[in-house]
């Protein structure tokens, strides 16, 4: 069974005190709510599901949703979205036969974003099936990580209740590299949008506002999340 370094974070990941993650949620929700009507039918595979976000972000019926995550603790969080099935597995090596899903989604999948998971997502989809992914932007993450002295491909997560910090993988790529990766994996109709924090959000993470300040833009002008869409 896969082990995940998100096991350590899982208990606190959805805590309101983790403002950076909540700001990503704010941006994602604002960006995705418009697209609900255009979703294909069929089963939905949610990669790196955590507590599950397909109902909240996309209004998908729970009986269509399969949650996949490498953290057993994430998959067993008490407050989670309902789904048809939970799969404890690595998104880069999915223990399912292919062409079963009308939609593959993944929100904030930077811990495992790369060619392996994209190839697996492509294999999972039915012909003409759609994929919707989100990742934090390199425009936000790179200056922050350089300033605090961590590798650009990792993120730091403070576990507030235990007074400790963990570093976990977080793969950020330039938009053109992301598009190239999807095309190499066989996706078509690839699009990528830049999402900023909605103006209605007043509780802004210092990890976001400090980068905005460095760049001389307001808290609502820096793209913090990419929404990536593609078709098989």
Ligand X SMILES: C[S@@+](CC[C@H](N)C(=O)[O-])C[C@H]1O[C@@H](n2cnc3c(N)ncnc32)[C@H](O)[C@@H]1O
* Residues within the interface to ligand X (CB under 6 A): 4, 6, 48-51, 53, 69-71, 74, 90-92, 107-108, 111-112
CB of 171 to ligand X, least distance (A): 10
Q: Residue 57 contacts by C-beta under 8 Å, 6 or more apart in sequence?
A: 28, 29, 32, 33, 107
Which of 120/232 has CB closer to ligand X?
A: 120
- Minimum separation from the CB atom of position 105 to ligand X (A): 9
User: Least distance from C-beta 57 to ligand X, angstroms?
Assistant: 8
Q: Give 4 or 205: the residue with its C-beta nearer to ligand X.
A: 4
CA atoms within 13 A of residue 82's CA, in its CB half-sphere:
6
Q: Which is nearer to ligand X, 8 or 100 (CB)?
A: 8
User: Which CB atom, from 51 or from 232, has the smaller least distance to ligand X?
Assistant: 51
Measured from the CB atom, the residue of 2 and 98 that comes closer to ligand X is 2
Cβ atoms of residues 60 and 39 within 8 Å: yes
- Least separation, in Å, of the C-beta of 72 and ligand X? 9
Task: Provide the minimum distance between the beta carbon of 50 and ligand X in the complex, in angstroms, as a whole number.
Answer: 3
How buried is residue 42: exposed, middle or buried, by Cβ count under 10 Å (0-12/13-18/19+)? middle
Q: How far apart are CA 141 and CA 108, in angstroms?
A: 13
Q: Nearest 10 degrees: CA dihedral of 133, 136, 142, 145?
A: -130
Q: Cβ of 179: how many Cβ atoms within 10 Å?
A: 17
CA angle 66, 159, 54 (to 5 degrees): 20
Q: Residue 140: is it exposed, middle or buried by C-beta count within 10 angstroms (0-12/13-18/19+)?
A: buried
Question: In the complex, what is the shortest distance from the CB of residue 149 to ligand X, in angstroms, rounded to a whole number?
Answer: 22
Scan for tokens 């595979």, then name that residue.
45
**Contact assessment for residue 212 and residue 102, using Cβ atoms and an 8 Å cutoff:** no
Nearer to ligand X, 22 or 142 (CB): 22
| Shortest Å distance, C-beta 5 to ligand X | 8
Closer residue to ligand X in complex, CB, 70/205: 70
């Amino acid at each position: 069974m896969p082990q995940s370094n998100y096991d350590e974070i899982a208990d606190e990941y959805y805590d309101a005190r983790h403002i950076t993650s909540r700001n990503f949620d704010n941006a994602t929700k604002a960006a995705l709510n418009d697209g609900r009507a255009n979703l294909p039918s069929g089963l939905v595979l949610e990669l790196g599901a955590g507590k599950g976000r397909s109902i909240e972000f996309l209004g998908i019926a729970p009986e269509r949703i399969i949650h996949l995550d490498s953290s057993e603790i994430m998959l067993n969080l008490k407050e989670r979205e309902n789904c048809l099935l939970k799969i404890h597995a690595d998104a880069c090596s999915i223990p399912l036969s292919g062409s079963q899903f009308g939609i593959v989604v993944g929100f904030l999948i930077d811990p495992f974003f790369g060619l392996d998971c994209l190839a697996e997502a492509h294999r999972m989809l039915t012909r003409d099936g759609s994929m919707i992914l989100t990742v934090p932007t390199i425009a936000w993450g790179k200056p922050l990580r350089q300033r605090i002295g961590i590798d650009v491909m990792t993120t730091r997560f403070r576990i507030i209740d235990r007074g400790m910090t963990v570093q976990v993988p977080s793969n950020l790529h330039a938009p053109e590299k992301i598009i190239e990766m999807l095309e190499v994996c066989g996706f078509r109709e690839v699009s990528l949008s830049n999402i900023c924090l909605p103006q209605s959000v007043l509780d802004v993470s210092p990890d976001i506002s400090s980068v905005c300040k460095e760049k001389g833009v307001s808290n609502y002008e820096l793209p913090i999340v990419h929404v990536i869409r593609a078709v098989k």
